[in-house]
Structure 1
Amino acid sequence: MKFLIDENVLYANKLFQCFGEVKSLPGREIFAPIPKQVSALIVRSVTKVNKALLDGSQVKFVGSATSGTDHVDKEWLQQAGISFSAALGCNAIAVVEYVLSALLYLSQRDGFSLHDKVVGIIGVGHIGRELQKRLNIFGIRTLLCDPPLAEAGIYDENWQSLETLVNNADILTFHTPLTYTGRHSTWHLVDDSVLAALPDGRIIINTCRGAVIDNVALLQALKSGKNLNVVLDVWELEPCISLDLLSHIDIGTPHIAGYSLEGKARGTAQVFNSYSAHVGSEIRTNLQDLLPPPTIRYIHLSNGVDEEILRLLANLIYDIRKDDMHLRRSMTIPDVFDRLRKNYHPRREWSSIVVEIEDYVGCSILQNIGFRANYRTCN
């Protein structure tokens, strides 16, 4: 058994070696012809998996340690008799905490309260649903837009159109797959007409796929004086991103929103367990087997939880400004986009820290928005 694995799939070598020989390559260097002895391929979103890559190979299993699957031709894999597994939802928590970190930073910088804003969530899968839950628990109103789910009758929700969100939401955050055809295609979902319709002062966040927003149209709008606050983690034509666009937005990062240590480990574990089941093995792994202890394990709060306390806790674990700074300072270096992703720091999720708090309501809020919290009466 031989595995060809993207070198950035965390812990993959350690896990898959129990089944056979492992060869690692950068994801963008995995292309045809696949060596004949390779029987399993483990990738991320930067590798296009299709007939052109695998036709004539001996690959019988493809795993993608990612939540999205638009880089994989699943229909062709099925026709070719190749088993496929993705790590659906593995990075949902990381992306949600990235979005919340961005909003907490912007609210402090610009002097507004998130409780006074309406957040429009476009795409209500694993990530959108988790974001809605955390925002609502913290008392922030949300509007939901997901036409395919609305038509399918999924969830009992008051679904809204994108036009309604454009007119009524102060913040638009995108969590859709990238699709090019059909009535609900998402390629350039945000185009000239949507940007023109957006009232000034709106916040746009894109953490799904770069081409969901027309980057050229966005740059033109910002250059022409459109007053928008923009957070981009994903870009059209990445890794060759627009430096001009980067210079006009508020926060820019190199496609790392889902790159928490927990999210990476969760994705690898899901694919590993799927492969193990595929070959009839009973070997399984979990996060506790893989993750190191966090640098900060405990913190004590004597008061309740408000927006400022949440901001302090969030920044203690992950400060989005550092990722923005690293991208802006490094963009003149060749291949820096992929280098920043490959060498990304070990970012933890909110659940990595235990918060002891002397406020019962605050304890409940923290528990429900992702922290491990314990209620402690004061002595």
Structure 2
Amino acid sequence: MTTSPTPTSARTVTGMIYVSRLLTDRAMDHLHSLGVPLRIGVEAPPSRAELEAGIAGASAAVITLTERVDAQLLAAAGPQLKVIANVAVGFDNIDLAATDAAGVIVTNTPGVLDRASADHAFALILDSTRRISEGDRLIRSKQPWVWGPRMLVGLDISAGATLGILGYGRIGQAVARRAQAFDMRVIASGRSRTPGSVENGVTFVDNATLLADSDIVTVHTPLTPETRHLIDAAALAAMKPTAYLINTARGGVVDEAALIEALHTGQIRGAALDVFEGEPQVNPALLDAPGLVLTPHTASAGEATRDTMGILAVDNAAAVLAGDPPLTPVR
């Protein structure tokens, strides 16, 4: 961890900002332009001891989803802490009851990563259904091969396939638009949508209908006590045996043990995961599951998107330290 010198500035932002991990270069330049004392971590996630030492005495903390915020960390920070700016749209790494009790504002980065996340989800849809990674592994294995009519045949999504979107927030809506460009039938479920209603060509259904009717189920719900293991053994059994599951939301929404079993038994045809229950540890059994594509939580990893996420988090912290309302408060 390095501590920057305090530059002189006429800005009204006051207080020391702790940044738990290095942001992108553009976001770091924006941070330094504030002209306030900074305590900056390294690129790797901090240990718990490093996190507690880093946040001690800070007026604002810019953190990532790898840092757990609880009452113990808030006590280590001290009473001067005003705001925690999470560089993510999700905030399941933060105990909101503890931050409320401490009077600490929590912000996130909604909206700015919708397109990149939707792009990645759709990339996983194409990868899994057209067996792209499987073909790549075949070539790299140096095994002899020859083209044939039955070779690596997958689902032709533009031939009337149905996409089911679990969670119809901003990212789910962006995925729907991409699916419609591929001539897919799109159904969705969401807390604020009535089954049977239609919006922008998307038909809303209940979860049971969505699981039963979809050729591809893509998950875009936050991780809450209600959504933990939303996709469990029963949900997987309700899906078509030819169906695919895509998860770019949070790992805990899918019961990985049930998914592994479903893939080995052919209960569903394939799946793709960008997030994991024990992240950053990955269940070794996932690596041997057939028909499974894996990426390391990179759905928002577009250059412009990651720049904007970091800059928004910094601006949230700066706004609070300047005595202004946060730009994107969690609540």
Give the TM-score taking structure 2 as reference length.
0.76
Match of 1:102 in 2: 124
Are 2:273 and 1:232 equivalent residues in the alignment? yes
Match of 2:237 in 1: 196
Per-residue Cα deviation, 1:166-185 (whole angstroms, up to 9, x for no partner): 111100000111111xxxx1
Identify if the C-alpha distance between structure 1 residues 262 and 32 changes in structure 2 by more than 3 Å, giving closer, same or farther: same
Deviation at 1:107, TM superposition (A): 4.3
Identify if the C-alpha distance between structure 1 residues 217 and 187 changes in structure 2 by more than 3 Å, giving closer, same or farther: same
Are 2:255 and 1:214 equivalent residues in the alignment? yes
The count of residues paired between Structure 1 and Structure 2 equals 276
Match of 1:27 in 2: 45
Identify if the C-alpha distance between structure 1 residues 124 and 256 changes in structure 2 by more than 3 Å, giving closer, same or farther: same
Deviation at 1:196, TM superposition (A): 1.7
Query: Distance in 2 between the 1:228 and 1:203 partners?
Result: 6
**Structure 2, gaps ≥5 residues long:** 1-14, 132-152, 325-331
Quick check: 1:120–1:171 contact (8 Å CA) kept in 2?
Answer: yes
**1:53 aligned residue (73, 79, 89):** 73
Are 2:128 and 1:85 equivalent residues in the alignment? no
Deviation at 1:113, TM superposition (A): 2.6
Are 2:156 and 1:113 equivalent residues in the alignment? yes
Are 2:223 and 1:178 equivalent residues in the alignment? yes
Deviation at 1:255, TM superposition (A): 1.1
What amino acid sits opposite 2:173 in the alignment? R
Quick check: 1:230–1:250 contact (8 Å CA) kept in 2?
Answer: yes
Q: How does 1:282-293 map to 2 (within 5 A)?
A: none
What amino acid sits opposite 2:218 in the alignment? T
Q: How does 1:241-280 map to 2 (within 5 A)?
A: 241-248=282-289, 249-280=291-322
Q: Secondary structure at the match of 1:241?
A: coil
What amino acid sits opposite 1:53 in the alignment? L
Per-residue Cα deviation, 1:297-322 (whole angstroms, up to 9, x for no partner): xxxxxxxxxxxxxxxxxxxxxxxxxx
Match of 2:214 in 1: 169
**Structure 1, gaps ≥5 residues long:** 283-379
Match of 2:12 in 1: none
What amino acid sits opposite 2:193 in the alignment? A
* Structure having greater relative contact order (Cα 8 Å, sep ≥ 6): 2
Query: Distance in 2 between the 1:111 and 1:208 partners?
Result: 24
What amino acid sits opposite 1:131 in the alignment? V
Deviation at 1:163, TM superposition (A): 0.8
Query: Distance in 2 between the 1:169 and 1:107 partners?
Result: 13
- Taking only aligned residues, the RMSD between alpha carbons, in angstroms, comes to 2.5
Identify if the C-alpha distance between structure 1 residues 222 and 120 changes in structure 2 by more than 3 Å, giving closer, same or farther: same
Q: How does 1:133-144 map to 2 (within 5 A)?
A: 133-144=177-188
Query: Distance in 2 between the 1:199 and 1:140 partners?
Result: 17
Identity %: 25
Per-residue Cα deviation, 1:88-132 (whole angstroms, up to 9, x for no partner): 123221111112222233444434432221100001112101111
**1:159 aligned residue (181, 204, 208):** 204
Match of 1:352 in 2: none
Match of 1:122 in 2: 166
Quick check: 1:34–1:54 contact (8 Å CA) kept in 2?
Answer: no
Query: Distance in 1 between the 2:56 and 2:99 partners?
Result: 17
What amino acid sits opposite 1:6 in the alignment? S
Query: Distance in 1 between the 2:175 and 2:277 partners?
Result: 24
Per-residue Cα deviation, 1:59-97 (whole angstroms, up to 9, x for no partner): 222101111111122343233222222111232211111
Identify if the C-alpha distance between structure 1 residues 225 and 137 changes in structure 2 by more than 3 Å, giving closer, same or farther: closer
Q: Secondary structure at the match of 1:149?
A: coil
Query: Distance in 1 between the 2:65 and 2:155 partners?
Result: 36
Q: Secondary structure at the match of 1:55?
A: helix
Query: Distance in 2 between the 1:90 and 1:8 partners?
Result: 19
Match of 2:147 in 1: none
Q: Secondary structure at the match of 2:41?
A: strand
Deviation at 1:224, TM superposition (A): 2.8
Identify if the C-alpha distance between structure 1 residues 155 and 210 changes in structure 2 by more than 3 Å, giving closer, same or farther: same
What amino acid sits opposite 1:103 in the alignment? I
Give the TM-score taking structure 1 as reference length.
0.67
Instruction: Please identify which structure carries the higher helix content.
Output: 1
Query: Distance in 1 between the 2:108 and 2:20 partners?
Result: 14
Quick check: 1:123–1:145 contact (8 Å CA) kept in 2?
Answer: yes
What amino acid sits opposite 1:9 in the alignment? L
